[in-house]
């Protein structure tokens, strides 16, 4: 973020910071709940909050459609999912608006928020998002489809098929690769042989660019421009946001079998949340008092959501086949 940001207002910057902090604290609580045996599984967003929140700020809530991937706590919260709803899906309870407790945690989907339901096989969300973009174009609806994935998923066939179809038909879709350097245990150098994931855009004849995923203003600027191009009929964009996964792949992973603690600690010094906080304070936008207020508000929301979701009922066994067979 530059010394004198002209792209976003101080209020927007503070709101971005709030949602980044909300995502981080929610994620931290879910890890505690997992380790205490309360919830079964966590796929963390830590280290990717800046790119998730900033990209969502560049979209139009209630207008655009999203197909988030399993780490996108920052995306779903920014696009309107409540903390209570987030924790209901983590506890797999009946009130969970994502799937009624049927999906694994992190498999987001919210009809009221124009959020497509995700599946466990990685990258399947890309052709889904492209299909939504096709529908938007056919209906001449002034909106875009936004989909995220990890850099490892860019090696799947669904990625190629989705981008190729979107390119051929000039569809209003934004594909953002959240490059966190690891596909489970495989580092980026074991996954691809090109300098940047965004280089692949050239083969599809579409716009491609790589941005610093730890810089929310850079991410916002790139996604905002991609949305404008899409609405102007200029087709899809491939944006690579480069960051780092600060936690193990999931709550079932031991990341120290394939990377060192020193490497992780070095990455933490570039943590987008920490850097953004420092920049906002340096510019006099964020004060200690404001930050303390955010922390208190967030803790109260998470405490309430945790208690509510923990005590909420599971789905009744009589609903086992709901959504499977036509009623």
Among 29, 110, 128, 249, which one carries the catalytic annotation? 249
Q: Residue 271: name the closest of 313, 297, 243, 251 by CA.
A: 243
**What are the tokens at 5?**
């940001």
294's tokens: 């955010």
Instruction: Based on the residue annotation, tell me whether 314 is a catalytic residue of this protein.
Output: no
Q: Decide if 245 is catalytic.
A: yes
Active site residue 258: yes
* Token pair recorded at residue 217: 């203003």
Q: Angle at CA 4, nearest 5°, toward 2 and 10?
A: 105
Inter-CA distances, 149 with 193, 256, 267, Å: 18, 23, 21
Structure tokens at 230: 């899409």
Among residues 315, 314, 184, 303, the alpha carbon closest in space to that of 252 is found at: 184
- H/E segment holding residue 286: none
DSSP symbol at 196 = -
Contacts of residue 250, Cβ cutoff 8 Å, sequence gap at least 6: 41, 42, 43, 44
DSSP 222-268: HHHHHHHHHHTT---EEEEEE----S-SSTT--GGGTS-HHHHHHHH
Indicate the DSSP class of residue 278: H
Q: Checking DSSP bridges between strand 186-187 and strand 182-183, what pairing results, if any?
A: antiparallel
Q: Which residues make beta-bridge pairs with 145?
A: 65, 173
Please list the alpha-helical segments (H only) found in 36-108. Answer: 49-57, 73-78, 83-91
Among 258, 259, 277, 308, the one annotated catalytic: 258
Distance separating alpha carbons of residues 237 and 220, to the nearest angstrom: 14
Residue of 71, 200, 227, 245 marked active site? 245
Helix (H, G, I), strand (E, B) or coil at 149: strand
Active site residue ranges: 245, 249, 258
């Amino acid at each position: 973020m530059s010394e004198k940001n002209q792209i976003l207002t101080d209020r927007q910057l503070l709101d971005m910071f709030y949602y980044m902090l909300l995502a981080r604290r929610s994620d931290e609580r879910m890890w505690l709940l997992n380790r205490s045996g309360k919830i079964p599984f966590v796929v963390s967003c830590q280290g990717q909050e800046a790119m998730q929140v900033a990209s969502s700020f560049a979209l139009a809530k209630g207008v655009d459609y999203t197909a988030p991937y399993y780490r996108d706590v920052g995306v779903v919260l920014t696009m309107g999912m409540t903390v209570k709803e987030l924790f209901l899906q983590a506890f797999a309870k009946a009130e969970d608006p994502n799937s009624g407790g049927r999906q694994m945690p992190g498999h987001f989907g919210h009809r009221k928020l124009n959020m497509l339901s995700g599946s466990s096989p990685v990258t399947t969300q890309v052709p889904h998002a492209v299909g939504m973009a096709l529908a938007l174009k056919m209906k001449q609806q002034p909106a875009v489809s936004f989909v995220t994935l990890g850099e490892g998923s860019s090696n799947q066939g669904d990625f190629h098929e989705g981008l190729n179809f979107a390119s051929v038909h000039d569809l209003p879709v934004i594909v953002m690769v959240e490059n966190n350097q690891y596909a489970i245990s495989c580092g980026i150098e074991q996954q691809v042989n090109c300098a940047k994931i965004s280089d692949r855009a050239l083969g599809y004849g579409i716009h491609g660019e790589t941005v610093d995923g730890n810089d929310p203003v850079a991410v916002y600027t790139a996604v905002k421009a991609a949305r404008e191009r899409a609405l102007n009929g200029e087709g899809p964009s491939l944006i690579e946001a480069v960051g780092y996964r600060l936690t193990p792949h999931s709550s079932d992973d031991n990341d120290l079998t394939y990377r060192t603690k020193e490497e992780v600690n070095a990455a933490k010094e570039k943590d987008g949340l920490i850097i953004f906080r420092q920049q906002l304070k340096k510019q006099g936008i964020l004060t200690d008092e404001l930050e303390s207020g955010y922390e208190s508000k967030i803790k109260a929301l998470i405490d309430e959501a945790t208690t509510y979701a923990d005590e909420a009922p599971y789905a009744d066994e009589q609903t086992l086949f709901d959504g499977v067979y036509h009623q």
